[in-house]
Amino acid sequence: MSYFIAFDFFSTEQKFNKFWYGIIEIDLHIITIQDAAKNIIYENYPDIDLNLTAIKITAFNNINL
């Protein structure tokens, strides 16, 4: 199913504060929203250490395409 997701992610140790938004295709029976956000961060910002990163989901809505 298609979802709109927006989230902030930040780290005081790594000194960054970023956001991301877009439409993704995921199956919530297989993956959590938090893991989907982690995958997006890993794919777009591979130099960020996810263990030191806080993620705040700000929007998550299903959409019918």
pTM for the full predicted model: 0.88
pLDDT (tens digit, 9 = 90+) per residue, 30-59? Answer: 999 999 999 999 999 999 999 999 999 999
| C-alpha radius of gyration, the chain, whole number | 12
Distances (CA, A) of 21 to 2, 13, 14, 38, 59: 13, 23, 21, 13, 9
Which pLDDT score is estimated for 64?
77
